[in-house]
Amino acid sequence: MSAQELIDTARAMVAGAKGLLAMDESNPTCNKRFAKLGIPQTEEARRAYRELIVTTPALGECISGAILYDETIRQQKKDGTPFAKAIRDAGIIPGIKVDTGAKDMAGHLGEKVTEGLDGLRERLAEYSHMGARFAKWRAVIAIGDGIPSRGCIEANAQALARYAALCQEAGLVPVVEPEVLMDGGHTLERCREVTEEVLRTAFNQLYTQRVMLEGMILKPNMVLPGLTCPRQDAVDEVADATVKCLLRAVPAAVPGIAFLSGGQPAELASARLNAMNARFKSRLPWALAFSFARAIQQPALEIWRGEETNVPAAQQALLHRARCNQAARRGEYTATMEKT
Ligand code: 13P
């Protein structure tokens, strides 16, 4: 795989006002979401749900890439078509989550470090063979009393960079996801400070580990007040703080930034992405896109509830959220879209 192919794939992932659909929940996470809705936590239920997603009509008009999980990339539709092929046939680029989870970090109470580097070269080769063209690795950074520590930020940044270098060696575009969590009572300003430090450290490491910035996608959090912060800033304030932070910390060589949703209500995530594009799009060096899981899937999951008869309505809800976020990329999303 040449450097140019990596660059072309990265650009295609954020082209045409489309975005990424994260459907890479690990089995425990997927089961937790199923349990809340009374859906059986079985391999077959997870397979049926992923089939619902990948067979949603017209999904490829607003989704450029879909992030799969190890179990899912090995599964097939009922008719035997592997999910990776079904996705490609829908005009969507298949991707794969390759970290093995955020684990408690030794000596750092309340902090996590993401694992998965051991054997990664071999796993990437296998996923590439199965049709994946990009990969994802998520680091989580919590804000709290005395945290995040420098040790946690640096360990996660180095792992992200080593993962990204291995991806590019294997011809896969790395989606680099350092997520600063929303949990806590911190202010928007505190989130901005932490996010800026996390991103600056990550890009330092990406440079040190010789990652080609033109052939990667950044997947950050939006800059938000903590969930229990008494002051919940307006949509435009969130847009301003997020763009200011990204302009300071993300090199212009990066082709695209695709936000995670992080547990924001789906409509609010669309409104905030929309505000960033409406206010700043013409002045930004990179595309501002989305790579949502919950903010695209949650309404569909709540309609489906494991029932075959609910599939068409759930698919409609999924497509609706994808279309809202496509409109948000253009700065054309409005609350009235939610009523149609
Ligand atoms: P959410 O959009 O639900 O935060 O998920 C994005 C993701 O891929 C987390 O790794």
* SS3 category, 251: coil
Task: Look at the block and give the residue holding tokens 């569909």.
Answer: 300
Give the residue-averaged pLDDT of 325-332.
Answer: 98
Q: How many domains does the chain have?
A: 1
Residue 9, ligand 1, Cβ within 6 A: no
Q: Cα(220) to centroid of ligand 1, in Å? A: 10
Q: Are 246 and 199 in contact (CB under 8 A)?
A: yes
- Reported confidence tier of residue 82, pLDDT bands at 50, 70, 90: very high
Give the residue-averaged pLDDT of 231-253.
Answer: 98
Specify the ligand 1 atom closest to the Cα of 22.
Answer: 8
Q: Cα(186) to centroid of ligand 1, in Å? A: 21
Q: Cα(71) to centroid of ligand 1, in Å? A: 17
Note whether residue 338 is domain-resident. Answer: no
pLDDT of residue 44: 98
Angle at 300 between CA 298 and CA 302, to 5 degrees: 70
For a substitution probing ligand 1, which of 294, 318, 321 has the most ligand atoms within 8 Å of its CB? Answer: 294
pLDDT of residue 164: 99
Distance CA 228, CA 237 (A): 17
Residue 262, ligand 1, Cβ within 6 A: yes
Q: Please indicate whether residue 177 is annotated as part of the active site.
A: yes
Q: Cα(135) to centroid of ligand 1, in Å? A: 14
| Amino acid making up residue 291 | S
Q: Which domain holds residue 91?
A: 3-332
Angle at 17 between CA 12 and CA 23, to 5 degrees: 70
Nearest CA to ligand 1 atom 5: 293
Note whether residue 148 is domain-resident. Answer: yes
pLDDT of 67 higher than 90: yes
* SS3 category, 37: coil
pLDDT of 314 higher than 90: yes
pTM of the model: 0.98
Catalytic one among 51, 111, 177, 196?
177
Note whether residue 63 is domain-resident. Answer: yes
Note whether residue 339 is domain-resident. Answer: no
Note whether residue 14 is domain-resident. Answer: yes
CATH value at residue 75: 3.20.20.70
Residue 114, ligand 1, Cβ within 6 A: no
Distance CA 335, CA 327 (A): 11
Distance CA 206, CA 301 (A): 36
Residue 261, ligand 1, Cβ within 6 A: yes
Average per-residue pLDDT in the chain? 98
Note whether residue 112 is domain-resident. Answer: yes
